[in-house]
Each structure stands twice: as structure tokens, then as C-alpha cells.
Amino acid sequence: MDTIWNYRWLLLQGLGVTVQVTVLAGLLALALGIATGLARRGPPLIAWPVHIYVEVFRGTSALVQLFVLFFVLPGMGLRLDPMTCGVVGLGLCYGAYCSEVVRGALNNFPRAQREAAVALNLTGTQTLTRVVLPQALLVMLPQLGNLMVELLKASSLVSLITLADLTFQARSIMRLTLHTVEAMSVLLVAYFVLAQLISFGARALEARLGGAWRGRTEER
């Protein structure tokens, strides 16, 4: 335990980096996911490139994507700092997963609700923002929460492109002190707690958005 205490500031710094990468990449992934998920229902000229993006980023490993951003792009004249690489790389990758969640929820959205919106003479945008998204987001939330937990765990990959996140720091401590068990235990607990926070947040949001109108059928 002394080891952990001695290196606490290093570990906290690493934790900060992990949180930063996860939050920023998560926001990017959600924004991308919603935009591309919507775009896939658009005209073919938009839908097809988006489809290719989703398949490429889902079908290749996140690690390879990070390596391309960090090691290959500079050779082509584009040099990004490690944090940008990590955020953009993970954001693109998980954006592709989010995109599928959004697309699925929109595809399964009841046609009758859209027809009711037509009967009320709403515009396409009003239908999307007032009728479709408030309901579809609720369907997406559990899956999106899941993806955010996955993203948190995948954020440890940024340690391999020199970013000093929690995993990076724990491995440094391991190499310096050879206290593998302690360092690994810290990682285990830290990621678990962060994952719980994300799950809790997703559930709270779900309850807040849907609590008023769902599951209170008994109050007839």
C-alpha cells in the first residue's frame, strides 16, 4: 500500500488524463453517432459515405486506428499531439458504434408516431426534435451508456501512444517498483468505479427523461 501512497500524485494525474480522454472522446462519439445515425436515413449520396465510415471504424481495431493517427499521419504531414490523437481516434471508433445504435433506434421507431406528426402538420425538423428524438433517445440510452463504459476501458489504449493516462502511470510504477499486484489493483478498482459512475449517470438520465411518462400505467 505504501507504494500506491508514494505514487498517489502520479496516479491521480493519470486518472485525470483517463477521465479527460473518456469524456472528450465520449462527447465526440455521441455527436458523431447521432449525426451519422441520422445521415444514414438520408439520400444515398450522404448515406453511403457514412455507411463506409461506420464499417471501416467498426471493422478495424481501435489500437490500429490510434497507431495510424499517431505514427502514420505525421509521415503524411499531419502531426497531432497525443491527446488529440487519443480523443479523435477513440471518438471516431466509438462514434461508429454509436451510429449503429442511433440507426437501430430510428429504424425501429413506430411509423404510426410519424404519421401522427404528419396529421398535426409538423415539419420534418419538428417531427425529429419534438416527436422522434425524445422517444428514441430513451431507447438508445442504455446501449449508449454501455458504449461509454466500453470507451472508458478502451481509453487505456492511449497509453500506447505515449499519453500518460492511468494505465500508463500504473505500468510505470510496476516497472519502477515491481509491485505488480498493488498497481494492478489500483487499475482494477479505478476503472470499476469510473464505469459505475457512467452506468449510474446513464440510468439517472433515463429515469429523468422517461420517468414521468413510462411505467406508471397502474395509475389509471
Q: Which is nearer to other proteins, 122 or 160 (CB)?
A: 122
Residue in 134, 180, 200, 204 binding other proteins, rule: CB under 8 A: 134
User: Is 207 among the residues that bind other proteins (CB under 8 A)?
Assistant: no
Residue in 60, 113, 162, 196 binding other proteins, rule: CB under 8 A: 113
Q: What is the separation of C-alpha 127 from the centre of its chain, rounded to a whole number of angstroms?
A: 26
Please, are residues 117 and 52 in contact by the beta-carbon 8 Å criterion? no
User: Is 108 among the residues that bind other proteins (CB under 8 A)?
Assistant: no
Q: Which is nearer to other proteins, 120 or 189 (CB)?
A: 120
C-alpha pair distances (Å), 187 with each of 114, 162, 177: 47, 18, 16
Nearest distance from residue 50's CB to other proteins, in Å? 24
Residue in 12, 31, 64, 116 binding other proteins, rule: CB under 8 A: 116
Alpha helices in the chain (DSSP H): 2-6, 8-39, 44-59, 62-67, 82-107, 111-119, 124-126, 133-154, 166-177, 180-210
- Residue showing cell 449503429: 100
Residues that bind other proteins (CB under 8 A): 112-113, 115-116, 118-123, 126, 130-131, 134-135, 138, 210, 212-217, 219-220
